[in-house]
């Protein structure tokens, strides 16, 4: 069996960022690829991402993913205020998730989302309202645009993956150095 799309990867350090990263080559329209489509693939993705949510409820994921991508791009670019349309979509998703969630009478108190999209909307609220919001970075690899939590001590992570975009950048630098030093 051959796959039309590459398998999703979980390298961002947070499920909300991994959700946005289900689009490969986000900033390169010619190579842009959705890695997860359809309810069955979303359920498999959620299991791989470690999301505890009832089955189903994936209908709103593409809209949520796109809104989060635009919001995270604005944050990474230092754009304030945040763009209105994606912010309204995120707001709608969070408010709806809270309305549909239930709070069981058990400790510790935790909201139980109604489905996968709701779980990710609530997780996005938590991420963007906490200290990790300041640690969100965007890959500097040309065309990549994937997001990650920069957990380096110095806060200087540059790539989604050292073995992927980081390796490509090192190979480009090596090639450029050798091209300059070799006689023609």
pLDDT value, residue 2? 42
Query: Across residues 64-75, what is the average pLDDT?
Result: 96
Range with lowest mean pLDDT among 26-35, 56-65, 124-133, 163-172: 163-172
What's the chain's Rg over C-alpha atoms?
18
Taking CA atoms, 86 is separated from 31, 108, 184, in Å, by 23, 32, 52
Q: Which neighbouring-strand residues pair with 112? A: 102
Residue 22 lies in a domain: yes
Residue 54 lies in a domain: yes
Cα 159 from Cα 21, distance rounded (Å) = 13
Residue 10 lies in a domain: no
For residue 3, pLDDT over 60 is answered with no
Q: Which neighbouring-strand residues pair with 137? A: 148
Q: What would the pLDDT profile of 29-43 be if each residue is shown by its tens digit?
A: 999 999 998 888 999
Residue 8 lies in a domain: no
Domain that holds residue 22: 15-181
Structure tokens at 157: 């992570």
Residue 3 lies in a domain: no
Q: What would the pLDDT profile of 145-158 be if each residue is shown by its tens digit?
A: 999 999 999 999 88
Total domains present in the chain: 1
Residue 2 lies in a domain: no
Residue 69 near residue 79 (C-beta atoms within 8 A): no
Cα 56 from Cα 135, distance rounded (Å) = 31
pLDDT value, residue 180? 73
pLDDT value, residue 1? 39
pLDDT value, residue 161? 77
Residue 7 lies in a domain: no
Residue 5 lies in a domain: no
CATH (domain of 32):
1.10.3300.10
């Amino acid at each position: 069996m051959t796959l039309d799309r590459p398998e999703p990867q979980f390298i961002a350090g947070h499920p909300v960022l991994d959700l946005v990263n289900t689009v490969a080559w986000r900033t390169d329209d010619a190579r842009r690829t959705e890695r997860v489509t359809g309810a069955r693939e979303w359920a498999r993705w959620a299991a791989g991402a470690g999301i505890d949510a009832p089955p189903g409820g994936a209908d709103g994921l593409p809209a949520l993913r796109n809104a989060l991508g635009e919001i995270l791009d604005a944050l990474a670019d230092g754009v304030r205020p945040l763009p209105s349309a994606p912010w309204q979509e995120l707001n709608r998703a969070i408010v709806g998730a809270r309305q549909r969630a239930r709070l069981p009478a058990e400790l510790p108190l935790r909201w139980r989302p109604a489905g996968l999209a709701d779980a990710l909307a609530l997780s996005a609220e938590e991420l963007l309202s906490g200290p990790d919001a300041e640690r969100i970075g965007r890959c500097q690899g040309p065309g990549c645009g994937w997001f990650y939590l920069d957990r380096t001590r110095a806060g200087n992570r540059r790539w989604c993956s050292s073995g992927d975009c980081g390796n490509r950048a090192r190979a480009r630098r090596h090639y450029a150095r050798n091209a300059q030093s070799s006689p023609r």
